Amino acid sequence: MNRLLQLFTAILLLGLPLGPTVAATEVNGPTEAKRPMNVLFLISDDLTYTALSCYGNTVCQTPNIDALAASGTRFTRAYCQGTYCGPSRASFMSGFYPHATGVLGYKNPRAQIGDRATWSQHFKNNGYYAARVSKIFHMGVPGGIEDHGPGRDYNGADDELSWTERFNSPGPEWRAPGDGETLEGNPDGKKPVVGGNTFVVVEADGDDMVHSDGKTAKKACELIRQQRDRPFWLGVGFVRPHVPFVAPKSYFPPYKPYSKHALPPKIEGDWDDIPKAGINYKTSPNMKMDLRRQKKAVGGYYASVAYMDAQVGKVLDALKASGQEDNTIVIFTSDHGYHLGEHDFWAKVSLRDESAGVPLIIRVPGKQPAVCHSFVELLDLYPTVATLCGLDVPKHVQGKDISAMLDDPNHQVREFAFSVAPMRKGFLIREDRFAFIQYEEDASAGTELFDTHADPQGYDNLAGDDRYQEVLARMQSTLTRKLAEVRDNDLSLQSSDRESPKG
Ligand SMILES: [Ca+2]
Ligand SMILES: [Ca+2]
């Protein structure tokens, strides 16, 4: 038994906590413990997996994310737990489903979780340097990150206890000089470029560094280059392709003329078989976007994705140059997905796959690249990454350890994924074949059932079809059981899940 193992045994016998500096079992020398792995968590905002070339998009160009996917495990069935920023981010950072904490709006979950450690805080408590650059917990985009000079609070709904250090990246957003157009609610074209949660495209003057994500990448590269005596957990939050679709002009040529973009098929009477709550909050008709505007929205979104992808590339290059790539877990994902015209739906909130599904790539040093079709949830990141880094998993955490999938992509830990859209009081149970969506806990606002094998685009709602009543009833009871399980936790605030989802 070597000296390190003797030390371990002594520590275990004494019941002392294993800090990260001694948690790894491999040794480089007789007395030297291997440094614990770093964690680099890259998260985009409002990015649908359908826009990434590694997920099959043939128009949008994402070479840096594709390269990460080719060297890691790419998950094809990863789901967020809430289909917009606030509840999704509060969930994967806290380790609780949205209906456990009741954080259904745009706040951080600290009031509900008390002193329970968030994901990054757990690493901080175990000796890591834990930092974020820009948006990890909720921040209003563009409103909360618009540059109004120093002295302004740019922290949004952040949770300070989660970090050793934190950094913000204010930018011009929709005010960036360049060629801009408001696409939404502007049928006569008289409206100027505006802010808020509005579809706006800006082909901006200047380079990457004009905008928030360029600044975020630069700060992240600096933090990676710094030599520390501790491992790091670094969260890097990009705000594109969240609206406004603003990027340097140089990213737009591959996506012009905008008229070349194909839109998803438009099926006559497509909405006739779904409940009102199933019609997304943003649609081509209610946004008053004609075909020209719809195609430009797709092109502007793609240019924003390409710009974000280039910033991801800078951070990954810095990691490689730092010499720490072989000792760093890299994760890339988004807080939820996005509609780009499917069923004439746009943006988030919907519980269809385009909106509830997320891109997810996990690269762990020493593991073989793979594609994994097992169901995973963003909630699984916390326990999985803690396990991979040799830390314990706090008891409150509701996600599952999926690290075995990184050795065997056929490994499974769940039969279905669960997601919610509190704005519509909507719930999704997504199984291999069927996707079941219910609005209101008593289903009073309707249900949807799609056979994703026979009808992958989800045109035919089978909830009213006699032949599927058994499936419907089974999935409805799965939902009831799941919600009870989510609420069976050590928090005492269940009544607060009546918090206004508008936050
Ligand atoms: Ca978002
Ligand atoms: Ca339909």
Query: 120-172 pLDDT, tens per residue?
Result: 999 999 999 999 999 999 999 999 999 999 889 999 999 999 999 999 999 99
List Cβ neighbours of 388 (8 Å cut-off, separation of 6 or more).
37, 329, 364, 403, 406
Residue range 433-464, pLDDT digits in tens? 999 999 999 999 999 999 999 999 999 999 99
pLDDT at site 22:
41
CA of 37 from ligand 1 middle (Å) equals 28
pTM greater than 0.75 = yes
**Distance from Cα 351 to the centre of ligand 2, integer Å:** 15
C-alpha triplet 275, 280, 286: angle, nearest 5°: 110
Centre of ligand 2 to C-alpha 270, Å, is 4
Which helix or strand (DSSP H or E) is residue 396 part of? none
CA 161 to chain CA centroid, Å, is 21
Domain layout of the chain by residue ranges: 1-34, 35-498
Identify the band that residue 493 occupies on the pLDDT scale cut at 50, 70 and 90.
low
CB 502 within 8 A of CB 423: yes
260 CA to centre of ligand 1 in angstroms = 27
Residue 480 above 80 pLDDT? yes
253-256-258 Cα angle (round to 5): 155
Residue 272, pLDDT above cutoff 90: yes
- Give the separation between CA 173 and CA 437, rounded to whole angstroms: 35
Looking at residue 268, what is its pLDDT? 96
Q: Which ligand has the minimum distance to the alpha carbon of residue 448?
A: 2
CA 272–ligand 1 middle distance (angstroms): 29
114: left (phi over 0), alpha (psi -120 to 50) or beta: left
Residues 275-303 have pLDDT tens digits of: 999 999 999 999 999 999 999 999 999 99
Confidence at residue 33, expressed as pLDDT on a 0 to 100 scale = 61
Cα–Cα distance, 255 to 262 (Å, whole number): 11
**DSSP string across 218-251:** HHHHHHHHS--SS-EEEEEEEEEESSSEEEEGGG
Only one residue has tokens 């796959």, namely 353
Instruction: Tell me which ligand sits closest to the C-alpha of residue 80.
Output: 1
Identify the nearest ligand to the CA of 271 by its number. Answer: 2
Query: CA dihedral in degrees (108, 390, 220, 44; nearest 10)?
Result: -50
Radius of gyration of the chain (CA): 23
What distance in angstroms lies between residue 265's CA and the mean position of ligand 2's atoms? 12
Q: How far apart are CA 249 and CA 233, in angstroms?
A: 33
In this prediction, residues 364-371 reach a mean pLDDT of 98
In this predicted structure, the answer to whether residue 343 has a pLDDT above a threshold of 90 is: yes
At residue 23 the predicted structure's pLDDT band, cuts being 50, 70 and 90, is very low
Tell me the sheet residues that pair with 78. 358, 376
Cis before residue 244, ω within 30 degrees of 0?
yes
Q: Give the C-alpha separation, 383 to 387, whole Å.
A: 6
Q: Is 380 left (phi over 0), alpha (psi -120 to 50) or beta?
A: alpha
Cα 337 to averaged position of ligand 1 atoms, centre (Å): 8
- The residues, ordered by sequence, that sit 6+ positions from 391 with a Cβ below 8 Å of its Cβ are 20, 23, 122, 123, 126
Tokens of 68: 């990460």
Nearest-CA neighbor of 419 among 48, 77, 83, 47?
A: 83
What are the start-end ranges of the H helices in 281-322? 291-321
Cα–Cα distance between 170 and 122 in angstroms, integer?
A: 28
CATH code: domain 35-498 is 3.40.720.10
Longest dimension (CA), the chain: 79
Choose the weakest-confidence range: 21-25, 211-215, 319-323, 420-424: 21-25
Alpha-carbon gap, residue 10 to 16, rounded angstroms: 9
